[in-house]
Amino acid sequence: MEHIDPAVINRFDTRSSRPCEFCREFDPHFHQRRPLDQMVASSRKAIASAHLTEDGYVRHRMLELRRIASRVPLTAA
């Protein structure tokens, strides 16, 4: 295991992680995700880059972009 970067090992340490509150609230399929894809580092806010996996990160970003795209555009007065 000495060839694996310690930062990578810590990134998948689920003892210091929690489910992403943002994804849990806005993703209707959140509970169908793999458990690691649901988790974020507990020392960080519920943001995309806090996800433990790339798939979790991508799904979080897709939710953020979907929310931005669904907002009513401001009209010029």
Q: Domain ranges for the chain, please list them.
A: 6-70
From the list 7, 10, 1, the residue with the least C-alpha distance to 42 is 10
Has this prediction a pTM greater than 0.85? no
State residue 1's pLDDT score.
40
Reading the block at residue 42, the tokens are 């507990």
**Residue 41's beta-bridge partner residues?**
17
Pair 14, 36: CB distance under 8 Å: yes
State residue 10's pLDDT score.
56
Q: pLDDT confidence of 2, banded at 50, 70, 90?
A: very low
State residue 73's pLDDT score.
72
pLDDT in tens, 15-63: 778 999 999 999 999 999 999 999 998 888 889 999 999 999 999 999 9
State residue 34's pLDDT score.
94
